[in-house]
Amino acid sequence: MRPIALVLALVACLDVPALCAAQPDPGALARARRAYNEGRYDAAIGAARHSLEVPDQVNGARLVLGRALLERYRAAARLGDLVEARDTLRAVDLAHLPQAERYELMVGFGQWLFLTGRFGAAAELFDSALGSAPAVSSPTRDRLLDWWASALERDLQDAHGDAGAIYAQVLDRMEQEARKDPSCAAAAYWIAAAARGLGRLDRAWQAAMAAWVRTDLSHDRSEVLRADLDRLVLTAIIPDRARETAAARTDQRQAADTMVTEWERFKADWEPSPPSPSSQP
């Protein structure tokens, strides 16, 4: 299963355009959004607090402040940030919130539910957000997909629900997302993970190799995706395949060792060849 620390490392960006105001600082909200998207959450929180002083920016400021507090809570586990994030997001005036920002508010509520262990409820909100999302960037949708699938898996682990139905749902959606956007890192990972969850171990093995090749399309997320895939293959897919192919424990260890060797050889084969001495200047 995917470690929660890695799951949570996948951060949803804010794609909402910055609002403008005249006084006292028309650029405060824009700076807050920029800092949030860059992962500078202390700076985002400071700028968002400042923009709360501007009447036309209050709603947007609360939205950024709440989301940034949630991210800082993930990093530092300060309970006060989690409480303030909840109160700040609840204070947003929905009647005066643009449609695009309503989507962001829904994601924020989903993140709060996830971080407080209400995984099933979080998955419901993330699913709604995916269906109602405006024209957000690919990385933003990618991260939201990861939050959704991760919430479903965590809820499955806690509630011991119908694993087949859950993983089938994840696999179906991620296959669709991969067809629309081959660079989608969440789809690449979760196709392999969901196939493994369904017991389709050969499919999981092949999907993991395909995902490894597709990591080059994921740009800034390629290193995270490869680390996740490596852990999935070594700690889940290979042990499951070894148990399926060998009855005796010693045979299972031998089968697993063979698969590990094959996996490492595959990764090495995909690495670019070093330049030959004759090509050096």
- The pTM of this model reads 0.84
What is the number of residues in the chain? Answer: 281
Burial 86-98 (b: 16+ CB within 10 A, else e): bebbeebeeeebe
Long-range pairs of 225-229 with CB within 8 A, sequence gap ≥ 24: 225/185, 225/188, 225/189, 227/6, 228/2, 228/6, 228/189, 229/188, 229/189, 229/192
- pLDDT at residue number 44: 95
The first and second tokens of residue 110, run together, are 């989903």
Residues 71, 142, 240: CA angle, nearest 5 degrees? 100
For residue 22, the 8-state DSSP code is -
Distance CA 116, CA 158 (A): 13
Is the backbone peptide bond immediately before 26 cis, with ω within 30 degrees of 0?
Answer: no
- pLDDT at residue number 277: 59
Q: What is the pLDDT of residues 246-262, one digit of tens each?
A: 878 889 999 999 999 99
Residues 131, 59, 87: CA angle, nearest 5 degrees? 85
For residue 54, the 8-state DSSP code is S
The first and second tokens of residue 235, run together, are 């700690």
Tell me the pLDDT of the chain averaged across its residues. Answer: 87
Q: What is the pLDDT of residues 142-172, one digit of tens each?
A: 889 999 999 999 999 987 779 999 999 999 9
Phi-psi sector, 160: left (phi>0), alpha (psi -120 to 50), beta? left
More confident residue, 55 or 123: 123
The first and second tokens of residue 64, run together, are 């950024």
110 band by pLDDT with thresholds 50, 70 and 90: very high
- pLDDT at residue number 35: 95
56 band by pLDDT with thresholds 50, 70 and 90: confident
Q: Specify whether the CB–CB gap between 7 and 150 falls below 8 A.
A: yes
Q: What is the pLDDT of residues 225-252, one digit of tens each?
A: 999 999 999 999 999 999 998 878 889 9
- pLDDT at residue number 133: 66
Residue 47 has pLDDT above 50, yes or no: yes
Q: Is 143 exposed, middle or buried (0-12, 13-18, 19+ CB in 10 A)?
A: buried
